[in-house]
Structure 1
Amino acid sequence: MELSLGGSLMDTKIYHFKEIDAAAKDLRDGQLVAFPTETVYGLGADATNEDAVKQVYKAKGRPSDNPLIVHVASIDMVEKYAAEIPDKAWKLMKHFWPGSLTIILKIKPGSLSKTVTGGLSTVAFRFPNNQATIELIRRAGVPMVGPSANTSGKPSPTTAQHVYHDLHGKIKGILDDGPTQVGVESTVLDMSTDQPTILRPGAVTKEDIESVIGSIENNHHHVGKNEIPKAPGMKYKHYAPAAQVYIVDPSDDWADVANWIKSLSYPVGVMATSDILAQQDWADNAEPFSLGDDVVSASAELFDGLRHFDTEPRIKAIVTQAFPAKGLGVAYMNRLNKSAGGMHFADRQ
C-alpha cells in the first residue's frame, strides 16, 4: 500500500490522449501529472504554482537546489518569462523546437519562483516533440516543470509503467503515450552567458548546434558540494540501479566478460547489442538484455534495461556495452558513466 504526500491514499490515474482535458484540469488544480516526451517521461506541475512545484521535489525525493526544466508549447510562452532571447537562441528554437534541446536563459526578476530556479536568475526552457504533451500544456494554459518522472537518482523512465512503478500513490496521474523514442534526456545548452555551453549532452549534438550558430563549448562537469547546478544531472547521483554497473569498453574482450560471469555464484545482467549477445557462450547466470543494433537503439533502450534489472533484486552486477563518445554516443556515455559511477569492467575487484 502506498500513501500520497499528504498521508492519505491517492489513486494514480492513467490518462490517454482523449482524456487530456481531464489531465490539464488536474494540472491547473495544482496536481502532479506525469507526461511523455520524445526523450523520457517527465513529472509535470504548473510552473507558476509554487505549492505544486514543491510537491514535485517531495514526490521524487529531489534535492531542492536541483533546478527544474520548464516545458512550454510555444516560443511565446518563453517570452513571457525570459528577460531576453538572444539572436542565437532564437535561431536554435526555430531550428530544433519542438525537439530534444533545452535552452537556459536569464529570466525576468520574480517571474518564476526560486522553487523552480533553484535560487538562480536563469531557467531552462524546453519545447518537447510529443503531440500529447504539447496539447496538455496548451489546454492547461500554463508552462510545466518537468524533471524525469522517477525516484531521484534512479534510471529515468521511458514508459508509463516505469513512472507507475516509482510514483504510484504519490501523483495524480500519468499521460500514457507509449514508449519514448530517444531514451536519453534532452541536450541542455546554457545561453545565459556570452559563450553558449552544453551542460548536459543529448540527442542534439554539439555538431548539430554548431551548424546553426557556430562554435560552442562543452562543460559536463560534476559541480561541487556548495555549488548550485544550472542544469539537472550536474551534481547528484543519477541513473543508478541498486546493482553495480560495469562499463565494458570497446577495447575489452567480451569472452573475458563471459568467463568472469561464469566464475560468479550470482546472476549478472548483460546489456549489449544483439550481435555481441549472439557471439558468446553465456553461462546460466548471465541474463541478457539487447540494446539493439547500434548507439541509436542503445540510447533508447539504456534506461529500460537498467530499470529491468533494478526490479530483480537477485541481480548483483550489470555489465553494459560502451560506445565511442561521438555524436549521440556522447550522451549515451554520459548517462552510462553516471549509472556506473565511472566503474569500468577492467577496474572490477
Structure 2
Amino acid sequence: MSGTRFKTEILPVKLDSIVFPKEASTPIINDEMTRKNLEIAAKELQSTNNVVGFPTETVYGLGGSALKDESVKSIYAAKNRPADNPLIIHVSSLDQLKRKLLGPNQSVPEIYEKLISKYWPGPLTLLLPVENEAISKYVTAGQSTFAVRMPSHPVARALIAISDIPLAAPSANASTRPSPTLASHVYHDLQGKIPYILDGGSCDVGVESTVVDGLVSPPMLLRPGGVSLEEIQTCDPQNWGRVKVGKKTAGDSEQVKTPGMKYKHYSPSANVVLFNGCGNGLDAIKHYLQEHHPSGPIALLRLKHFADPSQDPGLAQITVTKNLGTKGADISRNLFAMLREVDELGVSLILVEGIEETQEGLAVMNRLSKAAFVTISN
C-alpha cells in the first residue's frame, strides 16, 4: 500500500520443477522449496492488498489482484505509474478466464480462436469487452474493454493458478525505467516497496507481449511484442491478414486501451540516441558528437552494421561497446538488460544502432523509439 515500507525478500524457484499437464488448470510441482515459495507469494496475494514481483517469459511482472481496487492501487503506488495507463490481466487457464473475468453470458469472440490455439499460453494479449463488474475499474482505467493474456512461464502460471487470482501485472520496474528481465532489476527499482520477488532467472523473450484488438474492423495491433505481426497474419490470414498497426505513441489527453502508448517509457538515466539506417555508424556518430559536445563517457550498443569505434581516435569518448546480437530474438532478449547494464556504469550517453522493423524488429524499434532522447535517421 502507498507509504508502506517492506523488507523485500527474493524467493528462488526452479522452473523445471513446475509442470502443467495438458489441459490441466493446476501445476505439478516437484521441488519443495519452489512449492513453498510459490505458496508464500500466493498467500500474500490472497490475504493482503500487497503486490509481488514474478517472472514471465516476456519481462518480470508486478502482480496484484485484478478484482480488488486496493491491490491495483498498490501496483500504481509501487511503480509511481499514472493511473490512466491501463493494465494487462494475466490468467493461468481458459477456465480461470471464464470463471473470474467473463460475464455470465459472455464468450471469447471467434476472431481470437486461432490465435489462442497457437499462442496461448504465450506473449499475446487480447482485448475483450468488460461484462463482469468484478474487474477493477483501476485495471481498465475506466474503459469498456480489458486486456488479458495467459503467460507461458511456469512460475507465472503456477502463481496465478495456486492463488486462483487473475493478476493485473505491468512490468515490475519503476515507471519510465527499462523493463526488468532479471529479479535483480526488480530489486533495484522496487526494493522496500514490495514484500516478495520470485526469482526465476532471466526472461526468454525480453520485450512485453503483443497486444491485439479484434473488437474493431479491421482488427488492430496496438502494441508489437513477443508475437510478431507476420506471425499473427500467417496464423489466421482470413481474419488477421489485413490487421492495422496502431500508432506508437498517444497524446497526453488521449485514452489508450493498452499499456506502453503514453508517457515516457523504457528509458535509462542516461540519454539514449537511436541511429536508424546510418550505415556503419561512424560518420553519423562523429557528426552527432561534434554538433552536441556531450561530456563524460559514452556507451554504444551495436547490432549488425555498426563498425567497432575503438580503432577510430575520433571516437575515444566511447568507452563501452556492447553487441546486442544479430538475430531478432537475441536482440529482443538482450535489449532492456543491456540498457540497464551500461547505464549502471555511469555513462553520460547511450548510442544504439537501430534495426529493420520486421519480425522482432518491430517490437524492438517500438521500445527504442520511446526510450530515445533523439532519433538520427539517414
Q: Is this a same-fold pair by TM over 0.5?
A: yes
| Equivalence for 1:12 | 8
1:138 is displaced (CA, Å) by: 0.6
Taking the aligned partners of 2:363 and 2:286, their CA distance within structure 1 comes to: 30
Q: Decide which of 209, 213, 217 is 1:186's aligned counterpart.
A: 209
| Equivalence for 1:321 | 353
Secondary structure (helix, strand or coil) at the match of 2:151 reads coil
Taking the aligned partners of 1:337 and 1:208, their CA distance within structure 2 comes to: 22
Q: Decide which of 265, 268, 278 is 2:298's aligned counterpart.
A: 268
Q: Decide which of 246, 261, 267 is 1:219's aligned counterpart.
A: 246
Secondary structure (helix, strand or coil) at the match of 2:300 reads strand
Q: Decide which of 76, 86, 91 is 1:72's aligned counterpart.
A: 91
Taking the aligned partners of 1:192 and 1:172, their CA distance within structure 2 comes to: 38
Taking the aligned partners of 2:295 and 2:217, their CA distance within structure 1 comes to: 55
Alignment of 1:26-175 (within 5 A): 26-29=44-47, 30-80=49-99, 81-82=101-102, 83-175=106-198
Q: Which runs of 5+ in 2 are unaligned?
A: 14-33
Q: Deviations over 1:234-291 (max 9, x none)?
A: 1111011222211122334322256466975420111113884657526264212221
Q: Is the 8 A contact 2:310 2:316 kept in 1?
A: no
Q: Which amino acid aligns with 2:71?
A: A
1:77 is displaced (CA, Å) by: 2.0
Taking the aligned partners of 1:113 and 1:286, their CA distance within structure 2 comes to: 48
User: Which stretch of the first structure deviates more once superposed, 284-293 or 14-23?
Assistant: 284-293
Taking the aligned partners of 1:287 and 1:257, their CA distance within structure 2 comes to: 18
1:66 is displaced (CA, Å) by: 0.6
Q: Which amino acid aligns with 2:247?
A: H
Secondary structure (helix, strand or coil) at the match of 1:329 reads helix
| Equivalence for 1:255 | 282
Q: Is the 8 A contact 2:303 2:325 kept in 1?
A: yes
User: Which stretch of the first structure deviates more once superposed, 295-304 or 271-280?
Assistant: 271-280
Taking the aligned partners of 2:318 and 2:83, their CA distance within structure 1 comes to: 41
Taking the aligned partners of 1:103 and 1:198, their CA distance within structure 2 comes to: 10
Q: Which amino acid aligns with 1:292?
A: G
1:339 is displaced (CA, Å) by: 0.4
Secondary structure (helix, strand or coil) at the match of 1:344 reads strand
1:225 is displaced (CA, Å) by: 2.5
Runs of 4+ off more than 6 Å: none
Q: Is the 8 A contact 1:266 1:285 kept in 2?
A: no
Taking the aligned partners of 1:123 and 1:321, their CA distance within structure 2 comes to: 35
User: Which stretch of the first structure deviates more once superposed, 209-218 or 227-236?
Assistant: 209-218
Q: Which amino acid aligns with 2:42?
A: A
1:307 is displaced (CA, Å) by: 1.4
1:220 is displaced (CA, Å) by: 2.9
Q: Which amino acid aligns with 2:2?
A: L
Q: Deviations over 1:88-135 (max 9, x none)?
A: 212211110111101111121413011111101111001111001111
Taking the aligned partners of 1:45 and 1:274, their CA distance within structure 2 comes to: 40
Secondary structure (helix, strand or coil) at the match of 2:143 reads coil
Taking the aligned partners of 2:162 and 2:349, their CA distance within structure 1 comes to: 45
Secondary structure (helix, strand or coil) at the match of 1:57 reads helix
Q: Deviations over 1:158-206 (max 9, x none)?
A: 1000000000000011111101111111100012324321000012112
Q: Which amino acid aligns with 2:89?
A: V
How many residue pairs get aligned? The number is: 341
Taking the aligned partners of 1:345 and 1:194, their CA distance within structure 2 comes to: 35
Q: Is the 8 A contact 1:84 1:106 kept in 2?
A: no
Q: Which amino acid aligns with 2:208?
A: E
Taking the aligned partners of 1:246 and 1:295, their CA distance within structure 2 comes to: 20
Taking the aligned partners of 1:305 and 1:39, their CA distance within structure 2 comes to: 15
1:339 aligns to 2:371 (yes or no): yes
Taking the aligned partners of 2:228 and 2:85, their CA distance within structure 1 comes to: 23
User: Which stretch of the first structure deviates more once superposed, 81-90 or 39-48?
Assistant: 81-90
Q: Deviations over 1:44-83 (max 9, x none)?
A: 1111121111010011011111111000001122223234
Alpha-carbon distance change, 42 to 98 in structure 1, aligned in 2, over 3 angstroms: same
